[in-house]
């Protein structure tokens, strides 16, 4: 498995057999979406900073509904959660998406806005890699994201949906989230991707590691 951050809430996940999935491709946030091809695209909700399906090459299959899906060797399970703290009354729903890739479980939290609850935590279960928004305003805050990390206890946490580059959204940067963890558990990667060896190394750690990318 390989994982590449494309910016905002978008990642490219590639299984060992070459099956590739892009999450939440974006537009309209002051940053150009990079050129990328994939076999599938997952869309957590219909806002423009998450549903730029036409920006992904390769005529990908699109998954944007709750339920169990599959593309090649990759299993995908999606369920609805709230985009805000009022049960979706303010911003509607978002999908939480679980991927089974090469024996690893990856969770993409979409634009989760509701506080961590036993119901949501039980639906997610144990995950190896948690991709979670931390910028607040439209999603959980840094502190809210930290509570998800505490409850889920993933091996690896990768923050997303925060102020970076030329992003014009009214959201916070990643520093507030990183400051909630021990310094030795925050790893700044001088690239925008993790290869199979990198992932195996971080997953073997006894503690949760927060990975912060420098996007090229």
- Nearest residue to 83 via CA among 124, 131, 133, 130: 133
pLDDT for residue 158 is more than 90: yes
User: In the chain, what percentage of residues exceed pLDDT 90?
Assistant: 89
Confidence band, pLDDT 50/70/90 cuts, at residue 87? confident
Cα–Cα dist 131/116, whole Å: 15
pLDDT for residue 216 is more than 60: no
Task: Please give the pLDDT value at position 214.
Answer: 81
Instruction: Let me know if domain 65-213 sits in CATH 3.60.15.10.
Output: yes
- Entry pTM: 0.96
Per residue in 115-139, pLDDT (tens digit) is: 999 999 999 999 999 999 999 999 9
The domain ranges of the chain are 65-213
Task: Please give the pLDDT value at position 28.
Answer: 95
pLDDT for residue 102 is more than 80: yes
Q: Is the dihedral of CA 84, 87, 93, 98 positive or negative?
A: positive
Task: Please give the pLDDT value at position 31.
Answer: 95
Average pLDDT, the chain: 94
Could you tell me whether strands 93-101 and 104-108 are parallel, antiparallel, or unpaired per DSSP bridges? antiparallel
pLDDT for residue 162 is more than 90: yes
pLDDT for residue 76 is more than 60: yes
For residues 65 and 45, the answer to whether their CB atoms sit within 8 Å is no
Q: Is the dihedral of CA 135, 140, 146, 149 positive or negative?
A: negative
For residues 160 and 25, the answer to whether their CB atoms sit within 8 Å is no
Token digits of residue 144: 């809210």
Per residue in 178-200, pLDDT (tens digit) is: 999 999 999 999 899 999 999 99
For residues 143 and 132, the answer to whether their CB atoms sit within 8 Å is no
């Amino acid at each position: 498995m390989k994982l590449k951050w494309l910016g905002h809430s978008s990642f490219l996940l590639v299984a060992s057999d070459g099956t590739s999935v892009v999450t939440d491709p974006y537009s309209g946030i002051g940053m150009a979406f990079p050129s990328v091809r994939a076999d599938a695209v997952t869309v957590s909700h219909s806002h423009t900073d998450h549903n730029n399906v036409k920006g992904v090459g390769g005529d990908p299959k699109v998954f944007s509904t709750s339920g169990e899906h599959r593309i090649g060797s990759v299993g995908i399970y999606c369920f609805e959660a709230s985009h805000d703290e009022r049960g979706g009354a303010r911003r509607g729903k978002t999908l939480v998406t679980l991927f089974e890739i090469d024996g690893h479980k990856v969770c993409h939290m979409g634009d989760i806005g509701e506080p961590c609850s036993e119901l949501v935590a039980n639906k997610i279960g144990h995950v190896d890699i948690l991709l979670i928004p931390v910028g607040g305003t439209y999603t959980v805050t840094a502190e809210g994201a930290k509570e998800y990390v505490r409850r889920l206890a993933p091996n690896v946490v990768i923050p997303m949906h925060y102020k970076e580059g030329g992003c014009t959204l009214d959201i916070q940067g990643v520093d507030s989230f990183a400051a909630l963890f021990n310094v030795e558990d925050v790893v700044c990667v001088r690239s925008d991707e993790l290869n199979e060896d990198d992932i195996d190394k971080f997953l073997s750690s006894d503690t949760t590691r927060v990975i912060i990318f420098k996007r090229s």
